[in-house]
Structure 1
Amino acid sequence: MRPHPVPLGFVFRSRAKTDKTAAEQAPVTTTKQARDPQAPKGRATPKRSEAQSQRRSVANTPMTRKDAAKRNRDERRAALERQRQALASGDERYLPVRDKGPVRRFVRNYVDSRFHIAEFFLPMAVVILVLSMVRVPQLQNIALLLWLFVIALILLDSSLLFIRLKKELRTRFPDEPKRGAVAYGLMRTLQMRRLRLPKPQVKRGERP
């Protein structure tokens, strides 16, 4: 007996149905990884060390050259303003390094509490210069003598200040560094009192 031929459509429908059933019954081998809501889309949750490193890199992002220059100018301007106010008020927190410390403060007060010939050097020098420019031999001779006399007085007064100030520093500050303190005081005597910086904090005749 001759077998009946099987329609081709039936064969393809049966195969498709079989493949679909196998796909539905196959176990799922991949698992979806949980994503941190704060993590970027499509990326895994970063480790704590990586997150901290990223935050530090953002915080330490270098500024542009223009911004850095502006910030440096502002800081320098603020520092100069604080220093200017400190020189007027005597606030040692913002004074230049050469003016800081108890030794330098004592030297300033010691110098400011006394008269010194050297502080009148500039006005006397102007007078002597004017006399020397007058075409009168007698006045020129007087100007020369005055010049020598003023120089001698300044040397004598500075020598006495050198000896007394050095003695005072050894007595009051035996363990403090005193290098350059006496020279600092001598240079201060060359300035007129109202032009001295830092400004005098004691009156003449007042004990430092």
Structure 2
Amino acid sequence: MFRRRSDDASSSATVVAEQDETTTRHPEAPKGRPTPKRSEAEANRRTRVTVPKDRKDAARQSRERMRAEREKQRMALLNGDESALPMRDKGPVRRFARSYVDSRWTMAEFFLPYAVVVLVLSILRNPTLQLLSTLLFLLFFVLVILDFVRLGLGLRKALAERFPNENTRGAIAYALMRTLQMRRLRLPKPQVKRGERP
């Protein structure tokens, strides 16, 4: 008695499922696409990336992919290839910000050499030289901040004129961080000369 009811319920559920399937699918193309030929399916299976069964092989393949991706990005940073740059460096806004900074002399790019000189002066056992090194460091720090303000305001104005309808958020901070690096060490490599219009 119980068995008969369960059989009736399962057969009615199958009928409902078949009705739903026929109402949602087109009668001429049940899958929405033609069935591929056997040769095409086998070719797709061969070209598909196979996941190795061994965890060590999977980790090795992952490391090789990551290494190849890093090498591609490094070459793009050296050559200025826009297609393979990291996301933080892509786009016309970031390219313009880089060129704006690279075409100017800035105080911040001399921060590292200046800091080495100040450090050497502060190590010497002469109180006058130590006081002088501290004062020079403070003076240079103030000049760098003033240069940052000048550069940031100029870049903001240039971005508003050049890209009035685009999102320029973060471009000024990106450009100011670039000024802290010496010109020959900057990545992506500078594409403009000093004094050249970006």
TM-score range, shorter chain: 0.7 to 0.9
TM-score, normalised with respect to structure 1: 0.70
Task: Pick from 69, 72, 76 the counterpart of residue 62 of structure 2.
Answer: 72
Post-superposition shift, 1:78? 1.3
In 1: Cα distance, 2:75 partner to 2:45 partner: 39
Which residues of 2 match residues 52-131 of structure 1 at below 5 A? Answer: 62-64=51-53, 65-131=55-121
Post-superposition shift, 1:73? 2.0
In 2: Cα distance, 1:62 partner to 1:165 partner: 49
How large is the RMSD of aligned CA atoms in angstroms?
2.3
Structure 2 equivalent of residue 42 of structure 1: none
What whole-Å deviation, never above 9, does each CA across 1:78-120 have from its counterpart, x for those lacking one? 1111111100010011111000000000000000000000000
Structure 1 pair 142/79, CA: closer, same or farther in 2 (3 Å)? same
In 2: Cα distance, 1:119 partner to 1:168 partner: 21
Post-superposition shift, 1:128? 0.5
What whole-Å deviation, never above 9, does each CA across 1:2-50 have from its counterpart, x for those lacking one? xxxxxxxxxxxxxxxxxxxxxxxxxxxxxxxxxxxxxxxxxxxxxx89x
TM-score, normalised with respect to structure 2: 0.74
Aligned amino acid, residue 179 of structure 2 = T
Structure 1 pair 193/62, CA: closer, same or farther in 2 (3 Å)? closer
The number of aligned residues is 159
Structure showing greater Rg: 1
Q: Unaligned 5+ residue runs, structure 1?
A: 1-47
SS for the counterpart of 2:96 is helix
Q: Unaligned 5+ residue runs, structure 2?
A: 1-34
Aligned sequence identity (%):
58
In 1: Cα distance, 2:51 partner to 2:181 partner: 46
Structure 1 pair 61/87, CA: closer, same or farther in 2 (3 Å)? closer
Task: Pick from 165, 168, 171 the counterpart of residue 155 of structure 2.
Answer: 165
The structure carrying a bigger helix percent of its residues is 2
Structure 2 equivalent of residue 140 of structure 1: 130
SS for the counterpart of 1:159 is helix
SS for the counterpart of 1:81 is helix
